[in-house]
């Protein structure tokens, strides 16, 4: 569990660390910080899948996985079926909410 928590902390902190290089790198820092948020999402989805296999009856992990599935479903709907401003706003906020939610789950699980 400790390794999972450390990996999550690294993944969440990586975009912030890259953004701190802004005075040196300038605009490149924004590009790499945005790119690393995709890496953060990928790492967190893998951690969520790992956790659901370890404890398939954990309600909180099930909610997280459902949120990830909902995000990708909404992406598909936004691109292929129906495009709207409210859906776009939801798609922008959902990854942040999922990242915070998984981080809270991991930190609470580590304390147990």
d(CA 62, CA 49): 10
Q: In the numeric block, which tokens belong to residue 21?
A: 């290089």
pTM as predicted:
0.85
Q: What is the pLDDT of residues 6-61, one digit of tens each?
A: 888 888 888 888 888 888 877 788 888 888 889 999 999 999 999 999 999 999 99
Domain limits of the chain? 2-111
Q: Can you spell out the DSSP letters for 19-74? A: HTTHHHHTHHHHHHHHHHHHHHHHHHHHHHHHHHHH-TT-HHHHHHHHHHHHHHHH
- Nearest Cα to Cα of residue 37 among 105, 101, 98: 98
Q: How far apart are the first and last CA of the chain?
A: 10
Q: CB under 8 Å to 47, separation ≥6 — which residues?
A: 4, 7, 8, 102, 106
Q: What is the pLDDT of residues 74-94, one digit of tens each?
A: 998 888 887 888 888 888 889
């Amino acid at each position: 569990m400790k390794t999972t928590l450390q990996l999550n902390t690294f993944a969440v902190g990586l975009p912030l660390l890259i953004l701190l290089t802004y005075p040196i790198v300038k605009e490149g820092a924004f590009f790499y910080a945005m790119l690393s948020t995709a890496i953060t999402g990928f790492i967190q989805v893998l951690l969520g899948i790992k956790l659901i296999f370890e404890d398939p009856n954990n309600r909180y992990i099930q909610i997280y996985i459902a949120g990830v599935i909902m995000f990708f479903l909404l992406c598909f709907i936004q691109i292929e079926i129906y495009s709207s401003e409210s859906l776009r706003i939801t798609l922008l906020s959902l990854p942040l909410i999922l990242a915070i939610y998984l981080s809270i789950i991991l930190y609470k699980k580590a304390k147990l």
